[in-house]
Amino acid sequence: MTGFNTRAIHAGQEPDPATGDVVVPLHLATTFKQDGVGGLRGGYEYSRSGNPTRTALQEALASLEQGSTGLAFASGLAAEDTLLRTVCEPGSHVVLGGDAYGGTFRLISRVVSRWGVEHTPVDLNDADALRAAIRPTTRVIWCETPTNPLLNVADIARLAEVAHDAGALLVVDNTFASPYLQQPLPLGADVVVHSTTKYLGGHSDVVGGALVVSDPGLGEQLTFSQNAMGAVSGPLSDWLVLRGIKTLGVRMDRHQANAARIAEHLAAHPAVSAVLYPGLPDHPGHEIAAKQMSGFGGMLSFRLAGGEEAALRVCERARVFTLAESLGGVESLIEHPARMTHASAAGSPLEVPADLVRLSVGIEDVEDLLADLDQALR
């Protein structure tokens, strides 16, 4: 197998055989001419069912995550919804991390639950609590690592053993790490989920999602559901994500270099009560992250000694860091999870601390980022 960066540039993206294009063409057609009834050229008939640009992206995703099948969707939540409705049925049960992404928790607790699927949030690092949460009807153990926004780390290989002993699938949301830093399928996971809006796209100009699976049979089921449910990505979105993937490795190197400097700086700041970043040696998940990741990523959160008021003030005073939701773009973002990305978890077991600030560290000059945080914290 060729190296990661080589695959990011070439997997699914060979020069066009007709024209020699070195960039995958943007195929905007919704329908494709047939050579006689049922005579499909390249297997394409209608763009919901298949589109050459989407095919290129899906092949690239499968290669980067070392899976058998990659599937692209209109958003990360569309990918999650398609997965859950494929592998669960009324009466099924899902175990999810106790600090899962708020949008995932909202989907499971307020949408999928109406279909008769039950759920239990649990600390995935508490082995006894995890095993107690599993039922005979458990079909999925849902893991994010690192988590959003608390940056907790779970041991993927251990969770895979627990899930498979219970006859369940291990699903890993790999959005924070990206496939450049972490590949859950070789560690035993069954499904990888991505919001391709984030690091894979990398430029805050596309919304998309993805699933990558190791088992071809599950891949066939999900391919059927992708077409039958119809929450597919559009060709322009596919093209933009492909463009972003080409520079994923070099971007992630800069993201995490900047994040590490900022984490160390904030850890010594008197206004900061805690820094949540797996790259810090005193982070409780540092050893696991070092074992299963090739780097610690560009996301970090920190808590303010002055509480919620101080956290809001820092978010509003930042200038180089843009106050905005989302993450993984080249520009640095700052947000208040309790009132922004994770507001849907308020009052639930997944509620996040009010004094927490989350940073998506971009690729700007790190001295400018440090200076901006210092003036916002004054």
Q: What is the DSSP letter of 234?
A: P
Residue corresponding to tokens 């008021």: 309
For 39, 92, 144, 225, 318, the CA distances from 168, given in Å and listed in that order, are: 40, 11, 16, 19, 44
Catalytic residue among 99, 173, 190, 355: 173
Q: What share of the chain is helix, strand, coil (3-state, %, to 5)?
A: 40, 15, 45
- Cα(205)–Cα(192) distance, integer angstroms: 23
Residue corresponding to tokens 């790999």: 174
Strands 322-323 and 209-213: unpaired
| Residue 291 annotated to the active site | no
Q: How many residues comprise the chain?
A: 378
For 41, 61, 143, 200, the CA distances from 193, given in Å and listed in that order, are: 30, 11, 10, 12
- Asked if 118 and 311 count as a contact pair (C-beta separation under 8 A), the reply is no
| Residue 114 annotated to the active site | no
- Cα(77)–Cα(232) distance, integer angstroms: 12
Burial class (CB within 10 angstroms; exposed 0-12, middle 13-18, buried 19+) of 185? buried
| Residue 128 annotated to the active site | no
3-state class (DSSP) for residue 41: strand
Catalytic residue among 106, 139, 198, 358: 198
98-126 residues labelled b (16+ CB within 10 A) or e (exposed) = bbbbbbbbbbbbeebeeeebbbbbbebbe
**CA nearest neighbour of 237 among 81, 86, 51, 361:** 51
Beta-carbon-side half-sphere exposure of residue 220 (alpha carbons within 13 Å): 2
Catalytic residue among 44, 101, 180, 277: 101
3-state class (DSSP) for residue 206: coil
Residues annotated as part of the active site:
48, 101, 173, 198
